[in-house]
Structure 1
Amino acid sequence: LELEVAQIMGDPAGTLLALAGVLRSLSLRQESAEEDVSPRYLMGLDSYELAPLILEMFGEKLDRLSISNYCYRQYLNRASADELRERLPHLGKKLWFEADCTYIEEDSLTTVNDHVIQVSSGERNWNGKISVKHSSYL
């Protein structure tokens, strides 16, 4: 499922968890919100620590997640990005994760537990990406 929205009304985290419980693959694309929100905004979650939510989503049926957020580039803070790089390969499932991330200082490519972890800074740290993908997806 590809979900392209500005805001999930009500309980955005609960809605994303519910989707993760019934879908194997989810692509999230953030649209510009009409209201004034912080640069750390994602689909109704403002200044939210995303790593615990994403880890919980992968604890459900979901095994493939892509997040694209060009509107609010700081939605995934450095601590969350680092936690995801460290913990996703050890969840005990073959997963595929990719997200925009602006906190990348240098490119890296490593393999942990059959998961390829790639970090790319992009041009002037604007369009960086973090990905954790099981080798079976490559």
Structure 2
Amino acid sequence: MATESAHEPSPAPPSRDISSIEQLPRELIALIVGHAPEAVFEMRLSCRMLKSAVDEYARRPCDIPIVRRIVFNEMKNTWLSIPKSRTALFELRLVLHQPALKLRMQRHLNGPENPSQYCIETTSLPEDAIDGLRECVGTRIREASFPDYDEPLCKLIDGIQIEKLKAFIDLRQEAAGERLLKNLRSHKVNELYLTVREVKLANPADFLLDISTIVRTLFISQLYVDDKDQYQRHFLGIDDFNWAPVIIGMFERRLDTMHVRTAYPSYFTLQSADDIRLKLPLLGRKIWFETRCNAYDRHEVRLDYVTNDHSVRALRWTPVTNALSIKHCSRESERHHNEFF
């Protein structure tokens, strides 16, 4: 007796195998890329859809900080310091926005844990190349350093938010001060590390007050001026001026941190220093203030007391360098130094 064979279903028509990640919304894929930017090249190899999504992400303005630090050195080279986790994204953006620049850029590796350093000579770049490099950098930079604050160099960071700006600025012309204030506002700078030598502004006091409405942290390094003796009461182009009301006024604005290193420690008289130490702790702010100051050098009892939660001290930075320190007790461990200059 013949045995009837069991009915077998006909094979289903072939269907495209869609990976689970390809089924995700485009916005979610962008979030994944943002959380793992170091893997953008590997993602591009997985499938055409993901490659397209990664490239789309890399082409658009980037909110995550790609470049940690940008330095314009005296040789007119631009150095970009990029964390290891961001280098792949930066190089992909370079390929997509301005591939020719990759051939002109040198990459220096500083070990597996340190940021990668990219160097390129930017002063001879055409405007479209500068625009392309700016697109690669992203919309935010942690720190920018200028050994010589120069307007043409600023074009590379035009429109980019900068958390910390370090610059040596020639303030012998009024326009230089006005340009700095304009750029502090446009870049939304929060910390300014300013090195100056000769200053010829019409009103340096107003200049500082304007700065204090923009930034929260201000470091000023006043270098020697050729025709000024180190024992003169000189600061920012002015001799024999009472800076106490200015500094108090600065802390009544946005500023809450100020550090002054000056070649002229006598710029504070004893009266000015007393006004500062008596009034700053009473402003209702958590202040951090330190300045080179020799006003208390001859005091038999060195200042060291706490008032209104602020520590007030006459410090000895070195055997020949003294300072006045006024710091909220919660901020005494903070250090604010100008590492670049």
**TM-score with structure 1 setting the length:** 0.89
- CA distance in 1 between partners of 2:197 and 2:242 (Å): 18
Partner residue in 2 for 1:73: 265
- CA distance in 2 between partners of 1:93 and 1:43 (Å): 26
Partner residue in 1 for 2:214: 22
Partner residue in 2 for 1:58: 251
- When you count strand as a share of all residues, which structure comes out higher? 1
Deviation at 1:68, TM superposition (A): 0.9
Which structure: larger Rg?
Answer: 2
Deviation at 1:21, TM superposition (A): 0.6
Deviation at 1:42, TM superposition (A): 0.6
- CA distance in 1 between partners of 2:206 and 2:282 (Å): 24
Moved more, 100-109 or 57-66: 100-109
- CA distance in 1 between partners of 2:241 and 2:281 (Å): 22
Partner residue in 2 for 1:8: 199
Deviation at 1:27, TM superposition (A): 0.6
- CA distance in 1 between partners of 2:312 and 2:207 (Å): 27
Deviation at 1:120, TM superposition (A): 2.8
- Correspondences of 1:76-87 after superposition (within 5 Å): 76-87=268-279
- For 1:23-44, what per-residue CA distance to the aligned partner results, in whole angstroms no more than 9, with x for missing partners? 0000111111234477100111
**Over aligned residue pairs, what C-alpha RMSD do you find?**
1.8
Deviation at 1:103, TM superposition (A): 1.8
**TM-score with structure 2 setting the length:** 0.38
Partner residue in 2 for 1:135: 329
Unaligned runs of 5+ in 1: none
Unaligned runs of 5+ in 2: 1-191, 333-341
Q: Which has the higher contact order (CA 8 A, sep 6+)?
A: 1
State which of 89, 108, 133 in structure 1 corresponds to 2:281. Answer: 89
- CA distance in 2 between partners of 1:29 and 1:123 (Å): 17
1:13, 1:45 within 8 Å by CA — same for their partners in 2?
no
- CA distance in 1 between partners of 2:268 and 2:234 (Å): 9
1:24, 1:63 within 8 Å by CA — same for their partners in 2?
yes
Identity of aligned residues (%): 31
State which of 315, 322, 335 in structure 2 corresponds to 1:120. Answer: 315
Q: Which amino acid aligns with 2:292?
A: D
- CA distance in 2 between partners of 1:7 and 1:55 (Å): 24
- For 1:31-69, what per-residue CA distance to the aligned partner results, in whole angstroms no more than 9, with x for missing partners? 112344771001112111011110011111000011111
Q: Which amino acid aligns with 1:107?
A: R
1:96, 1:133 within 8 Å by CA — same for their partners in 2?
yes
1:107, 1:121 within 8 Å by CA — same for their partners in 2?
no
- When you count helix as a share of all residues, which structure comes out higher? 2
Number of equivalences: 136
